[in-house]
Each structure stands twice: as C-alpha cells, then as structure tokens.
Structure 1
Amino acid sequence: MPARRYHLWLGCLAGPFLVVLAVTGVLLAVDALWARATQPAAAPASLSVAELAAGLAGHGTLERLAVTPVGTIVAQFAAPRRRAAVDPTDLSLRPVAETGDTIRTATEIHRTLMIGDRGRLILALATCAGLLLAATGLARIWRGERGGGALRRLHRGLGLTFALPFVVSAATGLGLAVATIFPLQIDGIRPAFPAAFAEGDRLPVGAVAALASVAVGDLEELVLPRADDANDGYFLATADRFAWIDPVSGGVAAASERPVMHRLAAAVLRFHAGRSMTALAVIFGLAAAAVGLLGLTGLAVGGIAIAIRRRRPVVSGAAAKADTIILVGSQGGTTWGFAERLAARLIEAGHLVDLAAMNNLASEYPKAQQLIVLTATHGIGEPPDSADRFLARLPQATLPPAFAVLGFGDREAKAFCGFAEAVDAALLATGAKPMLSLERIHRRSETDYAAWVERLLAALGHGRQASLPTDASTARQWPAPVVRGSPTRRVLSGTAMGSRWSVQLWLPQDHDLSDLTARLSARIARIETSLSRFRGDSEVMAFDRAPCDVWQSVSRDLAEVLAVGLDIGRRSGGAFDVGLAAEVAACGFGSGWSGSGVARDRIVAAHETIELDRGARRIRKRAAVSLDLAGIAKGWAVDELSRLVAEAGFPAHLVALDGELRAGAVQPDGRPWAIGLEAPAVGRRAVIGHIDLIKRSVATSGNNRRFAANGGHTLDPATGRSVAAGPASVSVFASTCIVADAWATALMVRGRDGLAAARAAGVEALFVAREPLAMPPATRAARWLGAQLSNHRRCRDAQP
C-alpha cells in the first residue's frame, strides 16, 4: 500500500481524536500563557529557601511551601489557616489563582476523554497514529508531491510548517500517557524518616544551613516541622533529590537522589504543558491549532478522495452503444468537472458518450470509435485514486481504434503529468492510433483546456466549435434580460482615449439602447477628465503641476487606478510604472499631450515617489513625477463600462476598448464569448487563434502597433528606453481588466524574464514569441497556432 493510502486511512481513523486533542490543547496553551502572564515575578537567583521561609514568618505560622509547574510559589499557613501565592521580590501575598471549570474539563478531555484509562489509551493510540501521519506526510512532501486544490495546499503547508513542534508535543504527551498508565514507583525512593534528630532547641528557619544552601529556583516542596512534635524535621524536595533536615543542627539527616526517570518525567510534564517557557506555550498552542486545521482539512480531503473512488459517472449506462468513451482519473474531483463538460459538448455535437472512472475500464466497447482519457497525476507520477487499477486492466481490454489523452498536473512537481504520460504510452503500445498528441494542463488552466477541446473537435470532424464555458455553473448565475422579440447581436460604440469602445449585447433589433449608450459615453468622458494627458484640465495634469509634499484630493477614478498601478508596480519589482510621462514623451510617444514634464536623469519608481491615501482619496508626491496612465486607464474604463452594462440588466455582454476586453456571463445560447488572438504582424491584423471568455478579462501588450525611430512604445522603467527584446506580445487573463492591463505591460517590460515573473506573481499570461520579419505572415501564424496556442506559457491569475 503506498504512503498516501496509509496517510489517508490513518487520518480518517485518528483525525477526529487528533482534532479533540488539538482543540483542548489550544485551550490549555492559552491557560498556560495566562498563568505565566498573571503569576508573580520570578524569584531572584540569590534568594534561598531559608530566607524565603524566614521572610514569610510575619504572615503567620508557615506549614508548607510548594512551587507549581508554572513557577508560582504557594505558601500554606497553619495559623491563620490559609493558602496564598508569594511574590518573591517583596514576599507579599496574593490569592492563589484557581483553575476554572472550563480548564478542568478541557484538561480531563485532553488526558482521558472523560472516560478514565480507556480514554487515555485511545488518545495514546491516536497520538501514535498522528506521529505516523506526520512521517507519511513528510515522506510525500520529500518525494516531491505538488499541486492539488487549495485545501490540499493548505493541508500540506500547515503540515510542513508545524511538523517539528507537533512531533515534539505528541512524543512528550505520549510519554506522559505511558507514565500515567504505568506509573513510576515512589516507594523506596524517598529516604527513610531518621531514627532521631539532635537534641536541643530548634534553630530559626532562617538559620538552617541546609535550607540556606538551596535556591528557591530549585525548590519543589518544603514541609516544615510541626511545633507540637519535638521529633519532627524539615522535609525538602528539589528537582534532583529528597532530604530530611535536622531542625536543631540545621544539617541533612537523610537524603536520596531522585531517579533519572522521575526527573525526566517532571521535565517532560513542564515541557509538554509549555509552562517552563512562554515561547513553548506559544509554539505548542500554534501547533495545536495547526493540528486542528490539519485534522479538519485532512478529513475533508480524505472524504473527497473516498467519495471520488465511489463516484458514479453522470453519463452512464451506454458503454455497449457509445461511440465515444471518456475515462476519468481524478484525486480531488476537479478532473470530473472537466470531463462532464467535455461529455456535454460531445453529446451536443451528436456523439453517444459513456463517462466512467478509469478503474471501471470495460473489457470491450463494441461500437466505440474513440477513447478519451482525462487524468490527473498524484505524487510523483502516481495514478489518482480513481485510476490506480487502470494500467493493470488495460492488457485484457479491447479498445476503440483511436484515443486522446489529456493530463492535469503542476509544472513544479517532479513528474509533471507523469501518469498521463504512462497512460499515453500504454495506449500507444496497444496499437491504437492517437487522435492528438498528449496534452499537459498546468493547474487546471481553462485556456489550455478550451484550446485542447477545439483541437479535439476538429480531429473528430466538427471544425471550429464553441468551446465549453469556463465554469459549468455560469449559465445559471445570471438571468437573461426580460425583453420582447427574438434577440440579435447589438453593438454599442463610441470614442474613448484616442480609440473606440464597443459593447456587444443580445437584444431585439427594435430595443431602445440610446439611454444606455448615453450613460456609457458620459462615464468615458468622466474617466478622461480624470486620467487623460490630452486635456490640460485633467486631474493627471493638475497632479503634475502640484508641489511636492502637498496632499491633493482626487476622484474615485484616479484613486482606484493609482491603487492598482502602485500595487502592481511593487509586485512586479518596478516593471510597471505609472510615473513615466516625461520619459515616454522624450521617446517620441507623447504627441498631442498638454504637457509632459522633463525627463529625469535617474528614474525613481512611482510606488516609491507617490503616496496614496485610498480611503480619503488623496495623493501627494515626494519628488517630481509625471503620471502616464496609458498602461492601465483603458483597463479601468473597460471595467467601468462592464459594471454599468451589468447594472442596467444585461449580464451577458462583451466590452472592448482597443486591446482590452472584458466578458460578462455566457451568451443567451449558452456559448462563451470567443475572442480572436492577433498575430504579431506589423502593418496588418491577422487572427491566429481564439480564446473563450466568461466573466473574465484579457489585455494584450505589444509593440507591433506603435513604433518610433528608437523602438516600440513600451518603456522599461529601469532604463527609460523602449523594450527591444522579449516576446512580440503578452496577453494577460484576470478577473478585472485593469489588473490584466497593468500586468500585460509589466510582463512585456520584463522581456525574456517575463515567464518567470508571471510564475512568481501567480499571473495567467500568454506569450507570443517573435519571428524573423522575413518569414511570411501566414507561416508565422501557422507556427504560432501549432505551437504557442497549445503550449503557451502562463500561471494562474492572482489578484492584488
């Protein structure tokens, strides 16, 4: 059985008990911290037991001194009868803090589940299982397992972070449980009571030499002799010995060393409870909280895995009649979602589809013409739970003549889509013909998946078909507008920022959209009033003229745009900069501006120069800087137009402004919005691929449109000059167009390092490589479509 199976079943069995231990452990850790925070100050190193006992004589007849595990000194007096905590710095008394009912209950649950030694044994076994869970989990991480959903990544990250404190806490707790079930013997360890003490008057406690030689920090217990018993003496217990002390001579009458196991047990108790050091209580408390989350996330992940193994396919019962077989290998359920969407699309295209888990491979499929396998990879090239018997059953099966394999994985894993590669090779070895080459999808990329579906449909003879929506539930999230008549595609448009904006809607031809068009045009006008350098009265130009270190109130448009721009400037390491107007103009791209300022000898990044108070909507600059928002303003305008269209009751729409687009909900017929990708050809426009969007944005940055004598219009903030190397264009996908717009510029600036920057920032991006200008445009397009669209480079999108 592989380590992940041990890990799964151990977690399912021991997880509930570990969660109980974790919750009660957090309460006890908080109690230990509170006890240390409220206890009296520590005793001075020079204070002896004799001095302490003598100093307390003024409070009454001292009977006993004891030191709690947290270090509190408790004095018990015979007259007047009372117990009190002692402040060793001034020997004053205060009430002893009593343990509350909640802590007592939590302690009992933590130790015995409130059912005695049976509960103690159950928790001990659960703790052993927890140690095995830590070992198997660390083994899986050490072997290089990566990827998985957010729940798996959280589970893995918590385990790696808190593995060491958990192991220490679990091992010490297990030792305490064993010591309690099989208690250490006390008989014969303490010294026998002396046959007789010296005769004469007793010394004052402060003059007893044996007590004067013991520091309070080493004290565990001191019992003073009774006044009415002339044959009684002092009993002293320290960390390393027991002793009877003669009250007359002040010397040691009898003593014995404490066994090593006793000292170890006492130290383990203090250590496990976190009462010996505040830092330990904090670390063990955090570890207990992490174990609780590990237990909950582990139980959730384990439950999902078990459910996936038992899952029944949505499209079933047609294996004997189906012409298309879809087999699914899934660990966490995500691959099933892709497979179900593919099955729905193939059924729409006229195929009879059977959908099943890979482990349910039938011995034969009489009428099937093609087998399609969608599989994840678990661990290092291992099969997921719903496919772990597939390769063993494959030789006995009679397969359809053609196949295609789609693998899902994580590029950071040691064997990216390793199991998919094994399945592809095994199917090829059976003599079946591949319809498509093996495709590997990084982190469930919707764009890669849509492109693969396009190629699969083409291979099946359906030509270009609309790809599946990016979310199967999207079609139900937005109600269609209530209108009369048959809807047709309507296009609204107007001028904006030196270009034109457009909005595509589905409405009857006679539906009046003049009011919406007017509102959209008015919104564009307000945005230009704030963000345009072509208007001398804009807020941008006013900011240029404002003195340094003076706060300036701004509109929501400028405040929000600067908030995103400055943030992405920081996250991109300065590759995106909103303060390059003077440098842009100096390169010949500021024609028509109302002003541009003077180019700086040394460029200081805008996020280091501009201070933004977003809540109060005000900004100020620490040094001279001129704003150029061309790399982000259009994205903001697209977002605002999309918002207004949705608020008007038209959730299904597509907004475009130059190279920035944002799609709303799916079209009325259920299709996504198909976006054409432009080839990097200078002087002409050619569509070389399509991407389907639903409630997503895309923005493209490139130098194929605007050129000056000294290069393209995208400037590198580090040099103040045009970006000369790197990709021909970069398209970024994000939930908002303003984020996509800014990141597209930043990744274009990073040039050849753009791919690494996108991965580091978690940005989903598509890079179009440069081709030699001598190559015919059609050849460049064909090469791009054949290689770039299927294997474009990107990471998942992460908003700032």
Structure 2
Amino acid sequence: MLRSLHRWPGLLAAVLVLALSLSGVALSVFPAVEAISAPAAVTGQTVADLAAKVLATHPTVEQIRRAPSGRITAYWFVGDTPGSAVIDPATGQDAGTADPSALKTWLTDFHRALLLGDAGRWTTAAGALAMLVLSASGCVLIARRQGGWRRWFAPMRGPAAGRWHGELARAAVATLTLSALTALWMTAATFDMLPADEANPAFPAQVSGQMGLSPAAMPALSSVPVAELRDLTFPYAGDATDAFALTTAQGSGFVDQGSGALLDWAPNGPWARVGEWIYLLHTGEGAALWGMLLGLLTLAAPVLAVTGTLVWLRNRRNRPALAGMARADKAETVILVASEGGSTWGFAKALGQALQKAGGSVHLAPLSSYAPASYAAAERIVVMAATWGDGDAPASARSALGLIAEAAPHPTAPLAVLGFGDRSFPVFCGFAEDIDAAARAAGWQMLLALDRIDRQSAQAFARWCAALGDAIGTPLSVIHQPEPPRTLPLALVSRRDYGEAVQAPTAILRFALPRASVIDRLLGRGLGRFQPGDLLGIVPEGSTVPRYYSLASGVQDDFVEIVVRKHPGGLCSGLLLDLAPGQAVRAFVKSNPGFRPDRSDAPLLLVGAGTGIGPLAGMIRANARRRPIHLWFGARHPQADFLYADELDGWSASGHLATLSTAFSRSAARQYVQDRLRTDAERIRELVSKGGRIMVCGGREMAQGVRETLAEILAPAGVSPSSLKAGGRYAEDSY
C-alpha cells in the first residue's frame, strides 16, 4: 500500500513536478542576482534620509518600494508620463531600469499557475500535494529499506538507479517537503483560505493640515531603518489632508506630512508574520544564499523523477506478472518474495503458476508488504527469500524481520520458508534462516522445515515444490530454469603467474574495463560501479552457474583485476588460467557490501592468505587518504607465491600501507599467518583499542583459524571477533 502511495503520484505527476521544479530552480537564481546587483543602503540609513534623497532627485516621486532582496525602486509621474527606476539609496540617484525581466515574469506566472490563471494555480497546488505525498511516503520507504529510522544515514546499496534515487531523496527530502508545504500555504493564502490579519489601519480622522516638511526632518521616518522598509507612499501633491502611508516588516501606519509624527499604526498579526516567513522560505527572496541552496536541492526533483521511473521499470522487469493473480484477501496461497537482483521472483512466479494450474488462487507480493491480518482467505503463506552479502536481507526487505516479530501470526494458515543463496558464501541463506527463526519465535505454525536452494538450482527447487505439494495435498511439478545473469566480455590485458614451484599455479589477471554510459549504468547495463572486495561473477561456457572471484580493483582504477588459483578439475579456474592476453571471458559484477572498509580514519587490520590477498591489495591501492593500514599475509614461499610483492613495497614507501607482516609455510621459518598474528599480539590489541577494524580474506579453514587466534589475542582486552563483528568492526570473505 505504501509503495503504491509513493509510486502512482510520482508517475502520474512526473511531468507536472518536473515543470514546477525546473521553473522553481530557474526562479531561485533571481533573488541572488538582485541581491548582488542592487546598490546597498548606507549602514544605519533611515527611511527619512532615503526619502529625502529620492525626493531631491525626483520631486514628483509618489512611491518608494524595497524588495526583500534589498533592491529599492522609486515611481513618479512627470505630467501624465509615469517613470520608475532602481535607486541607489546612498545618493538617491537612478541606478538602473525598474522594468521587470520578461523571462522572470514568464517563469513566475508559469511556476505559479502554468500560465492558466486560477485553474493553473489549483493544478500547481495538486503538484505540490503530490510532492508532499512523495516526500512523506519516500521517507518511510527509505527507513524500511535501511532497516529502521536509526539506520537512515547508513550507506545504501543495490542497483545504481535505486541507490541514486535513495541517496538523492535523503539529501533533498527536507527541502522538497518544505517547498511543497510552503507552496500549499501560498495557494491557500491566494484564495483567501487562511485567516487574514495583515495590518490595515484606517486613515486618521485628523491631520495637521500643514505641508512642506522635508522627510529628513520627520521623526516617524527617522526611527525606521531602510532594512525594515516595505513601502512608502507619498501624499498627493498639494493635498494638505493627505498623509504618508508607511509599510514595514512589522506593520503599517500613516505619517503626518506637516509634523512628521506617526498618526496611526497597526502591527501585523501572527498570520501575516508567518506568511512573510513562508514567502521567504519558498522563494528565497530576502535570503539569497538560501534561495540558491533551495534551487540546488530542488534540482534533485527532476533527477528523482527520472531515477524513480527507472526503478519502477526495473521492478516491473524483475517482478514477472502473474496472470490471474488474486487479491491478498482472496488468495488461498500468499507468496512473499525478498530478492535483490530479481531472480527469486522467477521462481515465485513458476510456483504461483503451478498452484493456479492445480485450481488454487495465488497472490504474489514483496516480503516488505508482509501483513498476515490482510490474508483473510489464506490457507498457507510461503516466503521465498534470497540472502545478500554476509547473511543480510535484500535492500527491499530489511524491515521484514521487524514486521514478522511485531505482527501476530495468521490464525489458521501455516508458513513455509525457502531460502535462496550460494554455498560459496560464508553465510549460506542466512536471511532465510533469520526469517524462519523469527517466525517460530512469533508463534507461527510451520508448514515445512526451512529448506535452501543453492545457486538457483532448478532440480533442488523442483524437489522442494514436490514436497510442498505433498504437504498441501496437491501434486506440484514445477520446472523453472532461471535466466543466466547479463554478462559483458572482459578482454585480458595482462597476467602475472606464480606458484608453479610449489604446485599451486596462481595468476593475477587484469582485464580491460568495458566502457558504459551513465544511462547504461542507470539501466543496470555494464559493470556499474564496483570496489575492491566486490565479486566478479564468471560464467564458464556450458554452465549457467557463475563462479565468483573477489575483485582486487575498483572502478576508479580503470581495470578489472582478480587473483585466481587453479584447482584440480576446476572448470572456471582452469578456463581463467588458460587465458592469454587479448582473449576474453564473459562476466558481471556482484556487490559485496559486507566486505568493504569503513570510511573512518581508525586503523584497518587486513589478514589474508593465498589468493585472499586480492581484495586486500585493492583496498591498499585505493587508500589515497593514507589511512593506517596494517597487513598480515601468508603464502607458501617468498620466491614462489608472494603475490603483489613489488606493489606492497611501493605502497609501504608511499604511505598507502603502514606495516606489512608476512608468514611463509614452506620457508625455513615455516610459519602460518596465525603464527605471525600471535607474534604481533600486543600490537594487535593496541590497534583494536584505537578503534581498529579487522578484515579477513582467504580459505574457510584459514579464516576459522584466524578467528580463533584473534579470539585468544583479544580476550585479555575483553573483546572478541564476535563482539567486533556485532559493532561492524570485523568482516570475513572466505571461500
């Protein structure tokens, strides 16, 4: 429901919001231009001094106005011919034309009413209301995406269009909300829908009847600074019964032209004062810097419209439509999906079609819409959840565990949870396990035990569907072959070979970075942005299952680099180590947000062995800030497989790497990296006490050994790898 509330106003009002935001951005420039170009008043100058100087220049002056930008304009008649000019308050002389800019006039009318009068004002008000709905619903959706309001400013992840949409929305939502609210206020004020208490004093019953006193000698005008002036209207020439009409930021009144005394005064009420602030906040007139900032942030609106549309198109593509889908409250089977890349939706659709074919009614929805109370006719609920990163939820389902914990279970329908993941990752189907545990803790009746699908296996999914069919008494035969990931050809540029002497052929492979336009990146084409520690997926010929290799480079390096060791019988590693420069493989990038350095200046402790040096080397290479990075690296022999040896020396000299500690298992010392960690135990405790973060990369056995060794080392300090991980200070990438 909330996503629909956010989606449809955005799609339906996209053109209107684009028009209003772009015209608003253009108008935001004018207050700054006026403030810069307007002659400044003399410090401490009063309205009395200003009026006297203008009167000396233009004896028939009728009115002086001061705009919020500080620009002062005088109006007069010479005979029957009107005149006007921008005034230099220091001299009272003309400083420029007062004729309004045709462009500004057109933009103002377009922005306020689309050049359509009152009907246009109502239309722009509808656009402002749509913007308000988008801002409010977007805030809640971002909180859900991030896993709660406390994680509002946490780094975002996911495809480029969705990430850019969320980042821009976080930056601009306060300004866009303010613009929408102030626009609605100003529309209501235009149509007299708000209380009016602007000062409107009655003309005084008695005046002195005298004339000729210079404004410079008038006490009432001498007490008003020019900065407070809004309007000064002169009495009719030769009419002793008339008076000066004075309007300031505080109110309005009349000044006797003979004595200079204030005859009557009426202050503005609270509604009028609020109205002035509303006008300033919406237009920036009177606060040039705010106007420019307002315009800059409002410029996010058209970008949000574009990225929002791209997100909608991507979601439509990733969520295949289920023909004949029942409403949530009418469906016998409710299938809820949590997916990052969209592949899990294909499995969900295949299951839904099989259930429909068997005569059942099915509702298919994202897990983020979880609401058991609305599934009135449900006989069963199925959750199909992919795992992202280090056991994390997909971006769209971060709030799911909280929803499951807080909402009461369905009174009659049991629950089945099916996880999708990759066994090569340390936490296989960790998010599905969390859902299953949360559901059991909340009191759900479970239809099936938790099951897991490895690497989108069609055979494993078919077996699970058959088990589901047995549980509900409906035979189900489901064959779903997922689409292979979209790949790009990567041409090998260079390779460096190691390890032959120790029977462990290993190579550092560097590929050319394919070029992609901004549009390609927004649409999810190309490799997109990546960092060291992200994953390069390679699909060998004759296989649909990708193999993943940790990236030793980031997009800023302008190349794609991985470290590969040949495994006996390894289809992909054999393919890669047989490559010659100029040959290519097909690949794609998968984000790995759980294995990235944080952005602090605290010490970074990197521990790697063998090919695990790859992403760690990439992180050191990217350390332009010279953050203190300390590396512990283990290999077989310093002359056989000391990967990145020359680069590590160079990075140490340049300050990219603070310290390097090595361990070689087939050298005279015969040390493993765990042994070297024990040797440096005191230094490790000191670095961790300074807020140090630990990152470990290598084989699973090595990672487990390092974890146990660090537990011993850190125990005297009262910390452990587990407690550091809970605080975001310990990460592993094992294989």
Q: TM-score band (shorter)?
A: 0.5 to 0.7
How many angstroms does 1:753 deviate by? 5.2
Q: Please, which of 227, 230, 235 is the counterpart of residue 220 of structure 1? A: 230
CA contact (8 A) 2:175 2:294 kept: yes
Residue of structure 2 equivalent to 1:18: 17
Matched residue, 1:472: 485
Match of 2:566 in 1: none
- Asked if the contact 1:29/1:285 (under 8 Å) is kept, the reply is yes
Q: Is the 8 A contact 2:65 2:230 kept in 1?
A: yes
User: Among 698, 703, 707, which residue is 1:730 paired with?
Assistant: 698
Structure 2 counterparts to residues 124-523 of structure 1, below 5 A: 124-142=125-143, 146=147, 149-182=159-192, 189-192=200-203, 196-199=207-210, 202-302=212-312, 311=321, 334-335=341-342, 337-338=343-344, 340=346, 355=350, 357=352, 361-362=355-356, 364=358, 377-378=367-368, 381=370, 394-395=378-379, 405-407=384-386, 410-411=392-393, 415=399, 439-440=429-430, 451=455, 453=457, 456=460, 471-474=484-487, 500=505
RMSD, matched Cα: 6.3
1:56–1:440: structure 2 CA closer, same or farther, 3 Å change rule?
same
Equivalent pairs, count: 553
Kept in 2, the 8 Å contact 1:575–1:747? The answer is no
Larger Rg: 1
Contact kept, 8 Å, 1:15 with 1:298, in 2: the verdict is no
Q: Are 1:767 and 2:734 counterparts? A: yes
- Cα deviation 1:315-346 (Å, max 9, x = unaligned): x9xxxxxxxxx9975588943x4565x79xxx
- Which one of the candidate residues 57, 60, 65 is aligned to 1:59? 57
Consecutive unaligned residues in structure 1, runs of 5 or more: 317-325, 344-353, 367-371, 398-402, 443-447, 462-466, 481-491, 508-515, 522-559, 598-603, 613-624, 632-701, 733-742, 769-800
Give the 3-state SS of the residue equivalent to 1:61 in structure 2. Answer: coil
Q: What amino acid sits opposite 2:285 in the alignment?
A: R
Supply the AA of the counterpart residue of 2:486: S
**Residues 1:51 and 1:592: Cα distance change in structure 2 (over 3 Å):** same
Q: How many angstroms does 1:220 deviate by?
A: 1.0
Contact conserved, 2:337 with 2:365, CA < 8 A, in 1? yes
Residue 72 of structure 1 deviates from its aligned partner by 1.0
Check whether the contact 2:132–2:180 (CA below 8 A) recurs between aligned residues: yes
Shift of 1:5: 3.3
Structure 1 length normalisation: TM-score? 0.53
Cα shift at 1:216: 0.8
Distance 2:483 2:257 in 1: 87
Extract unaligned runs of 5+ from structure 2: 148-156, 325-332, 422-427, 433-451, 466-479, 510-537, 543-576, 583-613, 689-693, 712-719
2:640 is the counterpart of 1:712: no
> Equivalent residue of 1:222, what SS?
strand
Distance 1:452 1:192, change over 3 A: same
For each residue in 1:515-553, what CA deviation from the matched residue of structure 2 results, as whole angstroms up to 9, or x when unmatched? x999869xxxxxxxxxxxxxxxxxxxxxxxxxxxxxxxx
Counterpart contact for 1:4–1:140, Cα < 8 Å: yes
Separation of aligned partners in 1, 2:721 and 2:627: 12
Q: CA deviation at 1:203?
A: 1.4
Deviation at 1:66, TM superposition (A): 0.6
**Matches of 2:579 and 2:198, distance apart in 1:** 95
How has the CA–CA distance of structure 1 residues 749 and 228 changed in structure 2, closer, same or farther, with 3 Å as cutoff?
farther
Superposition deviation, residue 273 in structure 1: 0.8
Task: Provide Cα deviations, 1:236-278, integer angstroms capped at 9, x if missing partner.
Answer: 2222333332222222344444444334333422332111223
1:49 aligns with 2:33: no
| Equivalent in the alignment of 2:69 | 70
Q: In the superposition, relative to structure 1, how do residues 494 and 458 fare at CA in structure 2: closer, same or farther (>3 Å)? A: farther
Aligned-partner Cα distance in 1 for 2:417–2:176: 52
Deviations 1:188-210 (A, max 9, x none): 924226555334x5112211222
Specify whether residues 416 and 750 from structure 1 end up closer, same or farther in structure 2 by C-alpha distance, changes over 3 A only: farther
Provide closer, same or farther for how the CA distance between residues 178 and 454 of structure 1 changes in structure 2, counting only shifts above 3 A.
closer
Deviations 1:582-605 (A, max 9, x none): xx99x99767999xx9xxxxxx99
Per the alignment, do residues 457 and 102 of structure 1 end up closer, same or farther by CA in structure 2, a change over 3 Å counting?
A: same
* In structure 2, distance between residues paired with 1:452 and 1:310: 17
Is residue 189–residue 256 contact of structure 1 (8 Å, CA) maintained in 2?
A: yes
Change (3 A) 1:364 1:195: same
% same residue: 19
What is the deviation of 1:180?
Answer: 0.9
User: By how many angstroms is 1:395 displaced?
Assistant: 2.1
**Whole-Å separation in 1 of the counterparts to 2:282 and 2:77:** 34
Q: Say if 1:50 and 1:205, in contact at 8 Å, map to a contact too.
A: yes
- Which amino acid in 2 is paired with 1:712? V
* Structural mapping, 1:531-610, within 5 Å: 564=618, 566-569=620-623, 574-575=628-629, 610=654
C-alpha distance in structure 2 between counterparts of 1:236 and 1:19, whole Å: 40
Asked if the contact 2:499–2:505 (Cα under 8 Å) also holds between the matched residues in 1, the reply is: yes
TM-score by length of 2: 0.57
Amino acid at match of 1:158: L
Once residues 282 and 616 of structure 2 are traced to their aligned partners in structure 1, the CA distance between those partners, rounded to angstroms, is 51
Partners in 2 of 1:759 and 1:294 — Cα distance?
33
Counterpart in the other structure of 1:83: 84
SS at match of 2:86: strand
Instruction: Check 1:759–1:329 CA distance in 2 against 1; reply closer, same or farther (3 A cut).
Output: farther
Give the whole-Å Cα distance in 2 for the aligned partners of 1:97 and 1:761.
63
